[in-house]
Amino acid sequence: MGVSIASGHELVLSGPLDVRNAAEVRDALHAALSAGSGDLYVDVSEVDLVDATGLGVLVGAHRRAGQLERRVVLREASPRFLRILRITRLHRVLSLESPVHV
């Protein structure tokens, strides 16, 4: 999993978002949330696999952002990623840059 900070308000994830790298992604998301203000955009266009642990990391970041009066906004989600969010109904919980039509 690659994690890079594109700016003070954007994080770019690439590769699999799964149990093997959940801690790394969680730490990066929490650090970005603690360091900034306003929306945190997370570019997931290069995420090629997401499992239940990865989804849990995103939900945890969403909750943490709410505590800080911020939002985590997923950007550039692939159709496959969106399908997983729809199946798990997380598209109703997580913020997406553009509306998802189900």
Decide if pLDDT at 22 tops 60.
yes
- Domain enclosing residue 25, as ranges: 2-96
Query: Is residue 101 a part of any domain in this protein?
Result: no
The CATH number of residue 86's host domain is: 3.30.750.24
Query: Is residue 51 a part of any domain in this protein?
Result: yes
- Please, are residues 64 and 32 in contact by the beta-carbon 8 Å criterion? no
Q: Is the pTM of this model over 0.95?
A: no
Query: Is residue 10 a part of any domain in this protein?
Result: yes
Work out the pLDDT band at 102, boundaries 50, 70, 90: very low
The tally of domains found in the chain comes to: 1
Give CA–CA dist 6/13, Å, rounded.
10
Query: Is residue 30 a part of any domain in this protein?
Result: yes
29-86 pLDDT tens trace: 999 998 888 999 999 999 999 999 999 999 999 999 999 999 999 999 999 999 999 9
Packing angle of the helix pair 22-35, 52-67 (nearest 10 deg): 20
Give CA–CA dist 69/56, Å, rounded.
20
68 is written with which tokens?
């800080």
